[in-house]
Amino acid sequence: MANIDVGNAGDLQSQIEEVEALSSIYGDEWCVIDEAARIFCIKITDDIDYPKLKACLQIILPHDYPSAAPPVYQINAAWLRGPDRKTLSSSLEELYVANTGESILYLWVEKVREFLLEKSQSTDTVEQPEVRNMATEEEEVAEDVEIPDYRNLKLNKENIHLFENHSSDEELPPIKLGETITERRSTFQPHLAPVVTPRQVRMVLDKLFENKKIASATHNIYAYR
């Protein structure tokens, strides 16, 4: 007779129920990227009718979530930088710690929405006269580069190797760009790189996210083996 992991079965059932609830609550804002791999995303705005700020929260649900591990998450927002990104990430982590073992995604989504609302109402978002210097076009583009935060919660030990800094003896693999495909006003472009370690996966991702268009895309998907 085959052994059944009761714990994982319970986690899977909890995930299914949570995803169904979120899909019902958020409708078209909720998106299933890869159901088998438990990858989802949700578009979040500060205001439904008159949005000023928006972000995309991508989620990967480990097999032992919610009982023992937190979700792996990524926040995509071209405007979200430095201290603001750290503040938001810390808020999500604190929520998880305070609710360890429970379904957390709804609380995360609403925390992100609360952050967007506070940010849009703050003086930091008031448009100021544009001040330009004599920097070259390349320098200006470099300043605008936004690298999404592929952050793994400290409590999730299983996937931490994906997010460690790569060692100096590993080289960035060559990256091949495929042809762009446009379907129903959505544009897709594949990228391929030969990798042999998880750290090289991170190196490739970091390199790709130096491209502002890739960094601000709402449905970045990657896979490796």
pLDDT tens figures, 52-79 = 899 999 999 999 999 988 998 888 888 8
Count of other CB atoms within 10 angstroms of residue 216: 17
* Residues 120 and 203 grouped into a single domain: no
Residue 29 belongs to what domain range? 1-124+148-155
Residue 173: the pLDDT is 85
Helix axes 6-26, 105-121, angle to 10 degrees: 40
Q: 30, 23 in Cβ contact below 8 A? A: yes
Alpha carbon distance 193, 177 (integer Å): 9
H or E element: which one contains 157? none
Residue 38 in domain: yes
* Residues 4 and 111 grouped into a single domain: yes
Residue 29 in domain: yes
pTM here? 0.57
* Residues 103 and 170 grouped into a single domain: no
* Residues 27 and 94 grouped into a single domain: yes
Query: Which pLDDT tens digit goes with each residue over 160-188?
Result: 444 444 445 568 889 888 888 888 877 88
Alpha carbon distance 23, 105 (integer Å): 12
Residue 110: the pLDDT is 95
Q: Which residues of the chain have pLDDT under 50?
A: 1-4, 125-167
* Residues 175 and 70 grouped into a single domain: no
Residue 211: the pLDDT is 82
Residue 131 in domain: no
Q: 153, 70 in Cβ contact below 8 A? A: yes
Separation of CA 180 from chain center: 23
Residue 7: the pLDDT is 55
Residue 189: the pLDDT is 83
Residue 141 in domain: no
Alpha carbon distance 109, 26 (integer Å): 10
Partners of residue 188 on adjacent β-strands:
181
Residue 123: the pLDDT is 52
* Residues 14 and 117 grouped into a single domain: yes
Q: Please, what is the end-to-end C-alpha distance for the chain in angstroms?
A: 31
State how many domains the chain has: 2
Residue 132 in domain: no
* Residues 114 and 168 grouped into a single domain: no
